[in-house]
């Protein structure tokens, strides 16, 4: 089977504090490693954007788990593409919480995250979701 990349956005069902984000990240790493998934998770303005890379069956099983996770709703797939190689191969699950300082540091990207991740805004500029994820993965050491 070939590799796929899926990027989705979702809305947090309640305010997500640092502890809850850490729990989500730990669960992601724990669940992704055994099935060979890699990716990056961004949180901004009460919403998530995540990229998952791996075998289609593993990606789809994870997406199914996400869709049934009560911590968030309105899961919307931005992109699904076959890939030859991973863009996030070094990340079982990278993470970055974006805030006002990130908007100042990345003014070209700010409209896409400063009020949360909105499918219509991201969909209006094809490729911007992947660009955002790659940009913040580079700065996430």
- Tens digit of pLDDT per residue, the chain (141 long)? 689 999 999 998 777 778 888 888 888 888 888 999 999 999 998 899 999 999 999 999 999 998 998 878 899 999 999 999 999 988 888 899 999 999 999 999 999 999 999 999 998 898 999 999 999 998 754
Going from the C-alpha of 98 to that of each of 4, 89, 112, the distances in angstroms are: 26, 22, 11
At 140 the pLDDT is: 58
- All residues at 6 or more sequence positions from 119 whose CB lies less than 8 Å from its CB, including other chains: 9, 76, 78
| Token pair for 68 | 């049934």
Cβ(1)–Cβ(56) below 8 Å: yes
CATH number of 3-138: 3.30.70.100
Of 16, 22, 4, nearest in space to 63 by CA:
4
DSSP letter at 88?
A: S
pTM, full prediction: 0.91
């Amino acid at each position: 089977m070939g590799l796929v990349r899926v990027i989705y956005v979702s809305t947090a069902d309640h305010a997500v504090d640092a502890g809850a984000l850490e729990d989500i990240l730990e669960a992601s790493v724990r669940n992704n490693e055994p099935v060979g998934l890699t990716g990056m998770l961004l949180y901004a303005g009460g919403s998530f954007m995540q990229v998952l890379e791996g075998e289609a069956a593993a990606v789809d099983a994870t997406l199914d788990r996400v869709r049934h996770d009560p911590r968030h709703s309105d899961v919307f797939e931005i992109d699904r593409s076959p890939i030859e190689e991973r863009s996030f191969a070094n990340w079982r699950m990278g993470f970055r919480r974006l805030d006002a300082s990130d908007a100042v540091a990345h003014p070209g990207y700010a409209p896409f995250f400063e009020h949360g991740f909105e499918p219509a805004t991201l969909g209006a500029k094809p490729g911007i979701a992947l660009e955002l994820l790659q940009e913040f993965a580079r700065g996430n050491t």
